[in-house]
Structure 1
Amino acid sequence: MIERARLLFAGRIEFLKSAPALHFLPDPEVPEIAFAGRSNVGKSSLLNALTGRKSIARTSVTPGRTQELNFFEVGDPTLLRLVDMPGYGFAKAPPKVVEQWRKLVRDFLRGRVVLKRALLLIDARHGIKDVDSEMMKMLDEAAVGYRVVLTKADKIKASELDQVYTETLAAARKRTAAYPEVLVTSSEKKMGIEDLRAAVLADSEI
């Protein structure tokens, strides 16, 4: 599976489109894997590491700037799509923007028939925050199965990482839609990227 995933992500990967509202979504033709996480969790960096590209997903110094669903096609012909969901937990956003985010994400999760799995990214330096728990609840209510992925694992000591991993795993196992495992990654050190690719491939069922 790891070798097949490596070959898949070494091939064609292209940005397809951004969707600020549901009527802009691409036709539901292939399986989709969505990436969710707090603003500044390292989602764009992880997508870049996953795809082996330097800038397939734009990184921003301003958390919360991307408030659209961004679609990337994988394979030639296209075999699956990666969906970069808008970051959440941005403190300075007006209430109207936050509500627009909630509606877009909630409606996408509940109505996207080709959505096979979500990957919920958690910053290893901070563990699960209240806004992450809210996202877990949203995924539970939408009946969307998801994996928890720790990011920036290279930024803390091994003993601290073990503790965060244990706490995150325990929290995930209490949720109805969460997989009983946690992936540990570092975009900078390429830690866990091969396992993440294999998980994406397995979840897409292609």
Structure 2
Amino acid sequence: MSEGQEEAIEAARKLFAGPVSFLLSAPSLKFLPDAIAPEIAFAGRSNVGKSSLLNALVGRNALARTSNTPGRTQELNFFDVGTPPVLRLVDMPGYGFAKAPKDVVKQWRFLVNDYLRGRQALKRALVLIDARHGIKEVDTDILDMLDAAAVSYRLVLTKADKIKPTELAEVASRTADAARKRPAAHPEILSTSSDTGQGIAELRAAVLSAIG
């Protein structure tokens, strides 16, 4: 690791060790907060471990709500990092929930698509992919939406501790190959685990670097 990378990781650690607080939930665009800070959005399937990863990112146990019921979060949840906020984390509604009514799925598409296309404060999206499965067909929908909206995004593997290192390397390689074929995707893949802390320091640094 270079000296510059170490400095970036330390700066990110200090930022996330400071004040982090829930701001609001927005069920529609009219409830969005004023765009006073750059935003980093987190997207992922409803059982990908998004809330757990957000909690690990900020070093809190219960900032983002975790649930045994996939697809429970159907709003844009905003969290301020720093006082005043240096940046905002946006927990987007999980997708791919099999039992959701069609109108709920439709509402998800409208909310997410409108946010991605119309939010100037949005600097980058992080799309979480379960390392045990890699990119699935249900993930391509959000990737297509991000490409169409020209929103820069990065793919982040979750639950990296649940598979063997050789398998993780293979999944990361396939995911990187897929990312290189997409116009708005960052080519480098991050592998993380909210349970062991793997990749969390690097994820924090990636979040901080995305806001410039």
The separation in 2 between residues aligned to 1:177 and 1:14, in whole angstroms, is: 29
Instruction: Look up the match of 1:98.
Output: 105
The separation in 2 between residues aligned to 1:158 and 1:81, in whole angstroms, is: 33
The CA deviation at 1:134 is 1.3
The CA deviation at 1:133 is 1.1
The separation in 1 between residues aligned to 2:97 and 2:37, in whole angstroms, is: 31
The separation in 2 between residues aligned to 1:160 and 1:180, in whole angstroms, is: 19
The CA deviation at 1:159 is 1.4
Instruction: Confirm whether residue 116 of structure 1 aligns to residue 110 of structure 2.
Output: no
Task: Spell out structure 1 runs of 4+ moving beyond 4 A.
Answer: none
The separation in 2 between residues aligned to 1:76 and 1:20, in whole angstroms, is: 25
User: How far does the alpha carbon of each residue in 1:133-179 deviate from its partner, in whole angstroms, 9 at most, with x for none?
Assistant: 11110100010000100000000111111111111110011000000
Instruction: Look up the match of 1:19.
Output: 26
Equivalent residues in 2 for 1:35-184 (5 A)?
35-184=42-191
SS at match of 2:89: strand
The separation in 2 between residues aligned to 1:12 and 1:158, in whole angstroms, is: 35
The separation in 2 between residues aligned to 1:150 and 1:110, in whole angstroms, is: 25
Q: How many residues align?
A: 205
2:72 maps to a residue whose letter is R
SS at match of 1:178: coil
Instruction: Look up the match of 2:198.
Output: 191
The separation in 1 between residues aligned to 2:103 and 2:118, in whole angstroms, is: 22
Identity over aligned residues, as a percent?
70
The separation in 1 between residues aligned to 2:198 and 2:107, in whole angstroms, is: 34
The separation in 2 between residues aligned to 1:8 and 1:165, in whole angstroms, is: 28
Unaligned runs of 5+ in 2: 1-7
The CA deviation at 1:78 is 1.1
2:177 maps to a residue whose letter is A
SS at match of 1:34: strand
TM-score with structure 2 length normalisation?
0.96
Unaligned runs of 5+ in 1: none
The separation in 2 between residues aligned to 1:204 and 1:70, in whole angstroms, is: 19
2:196 maps to a residue whose letter is K
SS at match of 2:188: strand
The CA deviation at 1:193 is 0.4
The CA deviation at 1:131 is 1.1
Instruction: Look up the match of 2:5.
Output: none
